[in-house]
Amino acid sequence: MKYVNEFRDGAIAQRMAAEIRKIVTRPWAIMEVCGGQTHSIIRNGIDQLLPEEIELIHGPGCPVCVTPLEVIDKALAIAALPNVIFCSFGDMLRVPGSSKDLFRVKSEGGDVRIVYSPLDAVALARANPGKEVVFFGIGFETTAPPNAMAVSIARKQGLTNFSMLVSHVLVPPAIEAIMNSPLNRVQAFLAAGHVCSVMGYWQYPPLAERFHAPIVVTGFEPLDVLEGIRRAVTLLEAGEAKADNAYERVVSFEGNQPAQKMLEDVFEVTDRAWRGIGSIPKSGWRLSAAYRAFDAEEKFQVSGIETKESALCRAGEVLQGALKPNQCAAFGKECTPRNPLGATMVSSEGACAAYYNYGRFITLEKSAEACPVP
């Protein structure tokens, strides 16, 4: 695939890692904000190429992981209602609520459907006028414009049987919360490339200055991640706390104007509870007043929900980079992808799942030596 394969070149990746080794003089802790970056790092073994001085701390940019437990439970309650077609991205199907997940609801008779795009849910609403179609609108700023457009189109088409359960979260407040936390060890950030393709990165220079931490907009393919790290290390070594863009082919300073306009119209900022972290003020989006008719939380009064988080789960600390997954006592024992206690073990980009699935509980270096691959 064009603009994908070129950015996965193994030989170039090795040289870029060597370049980073050349410029680093002391330990640095860098956080990659986006779960997609975490997934790419662990799946490709990018961190294995880096010099030991560089520690990658995995951030909370996994919308699946941070969707509040209460919202998950509401989704489960709505999906179980007769006459509802509940549409969701595949990522959410196995996220544990207080007692079950969407897969269980499906097996118990709920009409739960996986869709690729929120427009597929709108199409289902058109095709099934006798049913209530609800779309699970989670995600960061990358997914918000598609979700906003879906609601806008539903309104234009006069659909009365379509609604969205919205739980959007914003990156910059999360970065602030992390930097303000007393547990914080992060010295530089790799900002989320696709979030920035929508929002631009004009929010980051003031943040970089305030917290004296470089923030580098970074992509997802191995060469993009390595370049983001290289630029971050360069800035750290020079003591420069600036914002920089290492994903220029897709990201501009101002971002996508038509998308931002739609977001301003359809959504409004709200306080949001982040699962495992707690409430972060003004860190989320909900549907604005003009679109309240499409708000599933209003439409379906699912009350009496008592949330119950596992006592053993330490996802919050993992999400803030204060704990590595394999340092958690439950990791690999009570908590596995098969029986996840928290969302970070379910999501393909959650740090716990990434560590478990890509084997970060054994010494991989030893096994690579022991079994040379032809």
Partner 1 sequence: MCLAIPGRVSEIFESHGALMGKVNFGGITKTVCLEYVPDIQVGEYTIVHVGFALNRIDEESARQSLKLFQELGVLHEELGEDEGAPDEIRE
Partner 2 sequence: MNFENWNCPLPLQDYPSIVIGHGGGGKLSAELIEHLFLPAFRNTVLENLGDSSVVAALAGRLAFSTDSFVVKPLFFPGGSIGDLAVNGTVNDLAMSGAKPLYLSAGFIVEEGFSMSSLARIVQRMAEAAERAGVQVITGDTKVVERGHGDGCYINTAGIGVLADGLHIGPALAQPGDVVILSGSIGDHGMAIMSVRESLEFETTIESDCAALNGLVADMLDASPEIHVLRDPTRGGVASSLNEIAAQSKVGIAIDETKIPVKPEVAAACELLGMDPIYVANEGKLLAIVAAHAAEAILARMQAHPLGSGARVIGTVTASHPGMLVAKTGIGGTRVIPMQIGEQLPRIC
Query: Could you list the residues that contact partner 1 (CB under 8 A)?
Result: 1-4, 6-7, 9, 12, 15-16, 18-19, 22, 34-37, 61-63, 89, 116-120, 139-143, 145-146, 149, 153, 156-157, 192-195, 197-198, 220, 223, 227, 230, 248-252, 256, 258-259, 262, 349
Selection from partner 2, partner 1, none that 195 binds (CB < 5 to 8 A by kind) is: partner 1
CB of 242: closest distance to partner 2 in angstroms?
28
Q: Does 107 bind partner 2 (CB under 8 A)?
A: no
In angstroms, rounded to a whole number, what is the distance separating the alpha carbons of residues 45 and 63?
A: 23
Chosen residue from 100, 113, 155, 242 binding partner 2 by CB under 8 A: 113
Do 263 and 123 touch, CB atoms closer than 8 A?
no
- Specify whether the CB–CB gap between 251 and 243 falls below 8 A: no
The minimum distance between CB 211 and partner 2, in angstroms, equals 26
Q: Is 309 in the site for partner 2 (CB under 8 A)?
A: no
CB of 149 to partner 1, least distance (A): 6
Q: Determine, following the binding rule CB under 8 A, whether residue 137 of this chain makes contact with partner 2.
A: no
- C-alpha–C-alpha distance, residues 231 and 225, integer Å: 10
Q: What contacts 20, CB < 8 A, 6 or more positions away?
A: 50, 51, 54, 226, 229, 230, 233
β-sheet with 243-245: strand ranges across: 54-61, 28-34, 188-192, 215-218, 243-245
Is 45 a binding residue for partner 2 by CB under 8 A? The answer is yes
* DSSP classification of residue 244: E
Which span (118-126, 238-246, 272-280, 326-334) binds partner 2, by CB under 8 A? 118-126
Neighbours of 77 (CB within 10 A): 19
Size of the site for partner 2 (CB under 8 A): 57
Question: Does residue 262 belong to the site contacting partner 2 (CB under 8 A)?
Answer: no
Among partner 2, partner 1, none, residue 258 binds (CB under 5-8 Å by kind): partner 1
Q: Are 164 and 132 in contact (CB under 8 A)?
A: no
Choose one: 21-29, 183-191, 299-307, 349-357; the region binding partner 2 (CB under 8 A): 349-357
Q: How far is it, in rounded angstroms, from Cα 205 to Cα 243?
A: 5
Per CB under 8 A, 163 contacts partner 2:
no
Output 89 or 204, the one with its CB closest to partner 2: 89
Whole-angstrom CA distances from 344 to 38, 58, 173 are: 12, 11, 20
Residue 146: C-alpha distances to residues 136, 219, 259, 264 (Å): 12, 20, 9, 13
Find out whether 114 and 89 touch, Cβ atoms under 8 Å.
yes
Q: Which residues bind partner 2 (CB under 8 A)?
A: 1, 4, 8, 10, 13-14, 35-36, 39, 42-49, 62-64, 87, 89-91, 93-94, 103, 113-116, 120, 123-124, 139, 143, 222, 337-338, 347-349, 356-359, 362, 364-368, 370-374
